[in-house]
């Protein structure tokens, strides 16, 4: 068979770096960065290279597994037997409880496949089920909700114009480690340095002196107080007459309310809460307003507090008020070759609050409900109770608040099926674990990210290798389940109707080709000779730069409110400002605040089995400020117990002055006890036992989990006994 080099791209994180895979005798033997990729030009991070370890992992699930009757462990079964049994059991659930009793949780890697999410959502919609859960309610649903309120479209996601901006204000993101999120910008570190290089500034608001904060300017803030800080920035801008009047008049409605709301929060009144001195806030507001162009960007640090939708709304408001919305170097709308926001709108999928969750009464966001409430949806009887769950590309027992409650509830389902690469903490008791392909084994086009590229770009890849063992693409499994239930899983109602007639003719590949060809850069089915099509992309394996810059002046086309203007006074947000003003800070029993932390060589919960990333005896540790450590008698490398109102966990302490006093950081995605041996041996704890799954603790407008700023206390522990639980034992519920 010989040696082959295949051009592809990484789909672990949103940067989508170009990669070249060496394939020998049908197996990938090396991954290296693609020097000819127009954007990543020879860069890949350690995770991208280490995907080789996942691809070839001896612990990977490569055959369908069925849980052994009455006990632990799995037996290998054939796909035919697995699908026949799953189909029959799904039919039984539907006959008894209706299609609405069947649900799906799709985790983060699902978003990196162009076919997987479309087919899953179509399947549930065809069944009439609302039990659609994703990682978004732990990640970004607040951003979608804010877009619905501001722009009238939950699928519309503005991004910073990195290439041209003079001032980037980063609120709660660490792009030097995360490589950028809700924006796709390979080599983002270079892009940020380029801002400073051309005389601009990058200012990072973060409770931790993160890798990004250290490289640029740092404003230390207390966790979960960004709403106060942003209101004070707006206060200064309005009070000092620094707002862009033309922008407010032409682009917005309701700014009077925003100005009045900000008036109540001068920086002198919020500095005690935020920890940011009033003088710093005033200077920052003036500089932001005075910059020739500026973009205010927030990510998970701004999403996972108690006021995430309000914070996202205020971030965008700052962009509008300073005249930077839809302006070069500002806060802009990308130029996707397939305009998913417009298609979702047309297909009726760009929803927000169209219905509310059965448990907790939360508004749906893009068709999904809060994953934190899955355990209650399983356990609480009544019409619409969740009886059968499929989980694909997700590990919610580690990633969602209160994993212990979820794990217990999963055991009560009539049917629990997982599609994954591994036996994980979540699926170790599933009825079936079905082997999924890795991204190296499937064709793809980054359809969900095309509008987020800061340089408009599109790339297609064929599979690099055949699937290992019997692994299958998720969409094919969904299709088979659709057949078993007599429903079409095609992504929109229109297509589903067609699907009945066209049957198997509608494949993801044909669909994406059609969308590309009829899209803004398309060949319009032959009318435009240089336009895009799959054929054309296949001839450009390193991808195609669609335009050098993001075009601006598109706001009218993007905004869906009847007025065509950005709405700055939605009633939902007004209520949130009132709730903020009434919120109390301090429970003396929990004086510290817990936040998360992402590490360069971890990726959520799923790359801790890659030996390349775990070299050097990496361990899981909570970062604690020296003053806190001293006061509490904690030693570097020693043990401590973190106690929150929801749970407790014993951790190793790392004392570091990168933490602001009063804040503790603990990475999520550790504490393994699945089928991954290297990961299990690495120890650590599930940080989300400390998070609350109570409906009262979720953010009301988007059902977001409260994961950053959790009130905690730290207690010193005398480490006589080993901290790490035995490798494959399940930790006792906290
Ligand atoms: N190496 C690596 N890269 C990743 C991932 C990974 O696990 N590892 N995960 C990927 C995923 S799924 C995502 S969503 C993205 C996330 O991308 P980012 O959001 O850029 O990544 P984080 O490192 O979580 O950055 C959040 C920052 O917010 C800070 N923060 C915490 N609480 C607060 C707060 O209340 N206010 C403010 N202002 N800041 C706060 C944290 O200290 C942290 O520095 O990263 C992606 N990339
Ligand atoms: N405390 C705290 N909790 C958090 C966060 C935080 O910052 N703090 N961040 C949240 C965020 S932003 C996110 S995105 C979530 C992530 O939460 P999840 O998406 O629930 O979990 P992951 O750890 O990403 O697990 C992904 C699973 O998919 C599998 N997998 C990988 N690739 C594929 C594939 O191509 N196909 C299939 N079928 N399976 C695949 C992996 O083996 C793994 O089991 O965690 C959230 N949880
Ligand atoms: S930064 Fe790393 S993980 Fe992200 S796409 Fe690039 S190589 Fe993959
Ligand atoms: Mo995420």
Residue 730: inside a domain:
no
CATH number of the domain to which 618 belongs: 2.40.40.20
Both 379 and 292 in one domain: the answer is no
Residue 680: strand, helix, or coil: helix
Span 626-631, mean pLDDT?
98
* pLDDT tens digits, 129-154: 999 999 999 999 999 999 999 999 99
Both 316 and 302 in one domain: the answer is yes
CB 330 within 8 Å of CB 293: yes
Q: Give nearest CA residue, ligand 3 atom 5.
A: 16
- 574, pLDDT greater than 60: yes
Name the domain count of the chain: 4
Residue 734: inside a domain:
no
Q: Is 16 in the pocket of ligand 3 (CB under 6 A)?
A: yes
pLDDT at 723: 46
Q: Give nearest CA residue, ligand 3 atom 1.
A: 45
Residue 728: inside a domain:
no
Residue 319: pLDDT band (50, 70, 90) is: very high
Both 518 and 508 in one domain: the answer is yes
Atom of ligand 3 nearest to the CA of 40: 6
Both 708 and 596 in one domain: the answer is yes
Q: Give nearest CA residue, ligand 2 atom 12.
A: 139
Both 573 and 602 in one domain: the answer is no
CB 159 within 8 Å of CB 182: yes
Ligand number with the minimum distance to the CA of 32: 3
Express the helix, strand and coil content of the chain in percent, nearest 5 each.
35, 20, 45
pLDDT at 498: 80
Both 535 and 666 in one domain: the answer is no
Both 363 and 276 in one domain: the answer is no
All residues at 6 or more sequence positions from 357 whose CB lies less than 8 Å from its CB, including other chains: 130, 363, 364, 369, 370, 373, 377, 703
Residue 516: inside a domain:
yes
For the whole model, what pTM was predicted? 0.97
Q: How confident is the prediction for the chain on average, in pLDDT?
A: 96
Q: What are the distances in angstroms from CA 104 to CA 122, 133, 352, 417?
A: 11, 6, 19, 9
Both 282 and 183 in one domain: the answer is yes
Mutate to test the pocket of ligand 1, among 189, 228, 300, 622 (most ligand atoms within 8 A of CB): 300
Both 101 and 28 in one domain: the answer is no
Q: Is 714 in the pocket of ligand 3 (CB under 6 A)?
A: no
pLDDT at 497: 84
pLDDT at 724: 46
- 68, pLDDT greater than 50: yes
Both 126 and 183 in one domain: the answer is no
Both 372 and 520 in one domain: the answer is yes
pLDDT at 102: 98
Q: Give nearest CA residue, ligand 2 atom 11.
A: 139
Atom of ligand 1 nearest to the CA of 212: 44
Cα 396 off chain centre by:
13
Both 447 and 509 in one domain: the answer is yes
Atom of ligand 2 nearest to the CA of 106: 19
- Distance, CA 710 to ligand 1 centroid (Å)? 16
Residue 730: pLDDT band (50, 70, 90) is: low
Span 493-499, mean pLDDT?
83
Q: Is 206 in the pocket of ligand 1 (CB under 6 A)?
A: yes
Residue 83: inside a domain:
yes
- Distance, CA 633 to ligand 4 centroid (Å)? 34
All residues at 6 or more sequence positions from 261 whose CB lies less than 8 Å from its CB, including other chains: 231, 574, 577
Q: Is 175 in the pocket of ligand 1 (CB under 6 A)?
A: yes
CATH number of the domain to which 51 belongs: 3.30.200.210
Ligand number with the minimum distance to the CA of 135: 2
CATH number of the domain to which 171 belongs: 3.40.228.10
Q: Which residues surround ligand 4, an ion (CB under 5 A)?
A: 139
CATH number of the domain to which 392 belongs: 3.40.50.740
Residue 168: inside a domain:
yes
How far is 670 from 3, CA to CA, in rounded Å? 37
pLDDT at 72: 82
Residue 156: inside a domain:
no
Span 445-458, mean pLDDT?
98
* pLDDT tens digits, 253-310: 999 999 999 999 999 999 999 999 999 999 999 999 999 999 999 999 999 999 999 9
How far is 491 from 486, CA to CA, in rounded Å? 15
**What residues does ligand 2 touch, defined as CB less than 6 Å away?**
107-109, 135, 138-139, 300, 392-396, 399, 419-422, 424, 436, 438-439, 474, 596, 604-606, 668-669, 687-688, 691, 707
Residue 150: inside a domain:
no
Residue 22 structural domain: 3-55
pLDDT at 734: 37
Residue whose token pair is 């690469």: 421
């Amino acid at each position: 068979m010989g040696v082959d080099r295949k051009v592809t791209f990484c789909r672990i994180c949103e940067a989508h770096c170009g990669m070249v895979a060496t394939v020998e005798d049908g197996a990938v033997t090396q991954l290296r960065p693609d020097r000819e990729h127009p954007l990543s030009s020879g860069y890949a991070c350690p995770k991208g290279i280490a995907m080789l370890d996942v691809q070839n992992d001896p612990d990977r699930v490569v055959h369908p597994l069925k849980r052994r009757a009455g006990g632990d462990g799995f037996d290998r079964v054939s796909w035919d037997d697995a699908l026949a049994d799953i189909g029959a059991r799904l039919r039984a659930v539907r006959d008894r409880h209706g299609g609405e009793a069947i649900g799906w949780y799709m985790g983060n890697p699902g978003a990196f496949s162009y076919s997987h999410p479309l087919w899953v959502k179509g399947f549930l919609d065809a069944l009439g089920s609302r039990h659609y859960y994703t990682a978004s309610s732990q990640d970004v649903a607040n951003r979608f909700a804010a877009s619905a309120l501001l722009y009238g479209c939950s699928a519309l996601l503005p991004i910073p114009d990195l290439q041209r901006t003079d001032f980037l204000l980063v609120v709660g993101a660490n792009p030097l480690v995360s490589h950028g999120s809700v924006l796709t910008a390979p080599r983002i570190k270079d892009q940020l340095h380029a801002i400073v290089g051309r005389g601009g500034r990058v200012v990072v608001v973060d409770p931790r002196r993160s890798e990004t904060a250290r490289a640029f300017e740092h404003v230390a803030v207390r966790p979960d107080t960004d709403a106060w800080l942003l209101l004070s920035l707006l206060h200064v801008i309005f009070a000092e007459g620094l707002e862009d009047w033309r922008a407010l008049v032409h682009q917005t409605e309701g700014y009077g309310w925003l100005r009045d709301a900000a008036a109540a929060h001068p920086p002198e009144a919020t500095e005690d809460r935020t920890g940011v001195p009033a003088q710093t806030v005033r200077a920052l507001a003036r500089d932001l307003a005075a910059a020739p162009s500026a973009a205010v960007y927030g990510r998970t640090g701004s999403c996972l507090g108690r006021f995430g939708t309000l914070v996202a709304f205020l971030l965008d408001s700052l962009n509008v008020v300073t005249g930077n919305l839809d302006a070069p170097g500002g806060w802009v709308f990308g130029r996707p070759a397939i305009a998913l926001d417009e298609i979702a709108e047309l297909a009726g999928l760009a929803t927000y609050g169209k219905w509310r969750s059965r448990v907790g009464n939360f508004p749906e966001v893009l068709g999904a409900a809060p994953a934190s409430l899955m355990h209650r949806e399983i356990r609480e009887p009544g019409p619409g109770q969740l009886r059968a769950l499929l989980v694909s590309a997700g590990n919610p027992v580690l990633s969602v608040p209160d994993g212990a409650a979820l794990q217990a509830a999963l055991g009560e389902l009539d049917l629990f099926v997982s599609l994954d690469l591994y036996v994980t903490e979540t699926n170790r008791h599933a009825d079936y674990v079905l082997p999924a392909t890795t991204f190296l084994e499937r064709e793809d086009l980054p359809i969900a990210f095309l509008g987020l590229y800061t340089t408009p770009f599109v790339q297609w890849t064929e599979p690099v290798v055949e699937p290992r063992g019997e692994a299958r693409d998720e969409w094919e499994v969904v299709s088979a389940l659709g057949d078993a239930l007599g429903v079409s899983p095609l992504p929109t109602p229109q297509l589903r109707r067609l699907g009945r007639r066209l049957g198997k003719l509608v494949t993801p590949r044909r669909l994406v080709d059609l969308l590309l060809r009829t899209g803004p850069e398309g060949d319009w089915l032959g009318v435009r000779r240089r336009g895009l099509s799959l054929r054309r992309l296949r001839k450009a394996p390193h991808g195609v730069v669609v335009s050098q810059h993001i075009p601006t002046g598109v706001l009218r086309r993007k905004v869906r409110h009847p007025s065509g203007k950005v709405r700055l006074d939605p009633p939902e947000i007004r209520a949130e400002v009132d709730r903020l003003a009434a919120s109390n800070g301090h429970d003396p029993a929990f004086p510290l605040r817990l936040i998360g932390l992402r590490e360069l060589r971890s990726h959520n919960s799923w790359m801790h089995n890659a030996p390349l990333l775990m070299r050097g005896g990496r361990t899981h540790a909570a970062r604690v400020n020296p003053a806190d450590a001293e006061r509490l008698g904690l030693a570097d490398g020693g043990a401590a117990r973190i106690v929150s109102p929801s749970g407790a966990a014993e951790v190793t302490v790392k004392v570091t002055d990168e933490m602001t006093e009063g804040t503790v950081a603990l990475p999520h995605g550790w504490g393994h006890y699945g089928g991954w041996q290297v990961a299990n041996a690495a120890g650590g704890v599930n940080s989300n036992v400390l998070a609350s799954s109570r409906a009262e603790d979720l953010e009301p407008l988007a059902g977001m989990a409260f994961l950053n700023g959790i009130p905690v206390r730290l207690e010193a522990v005398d480490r006589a006994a080993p901290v790490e639980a035995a490798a494959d034992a399940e930790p006792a519920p906290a």
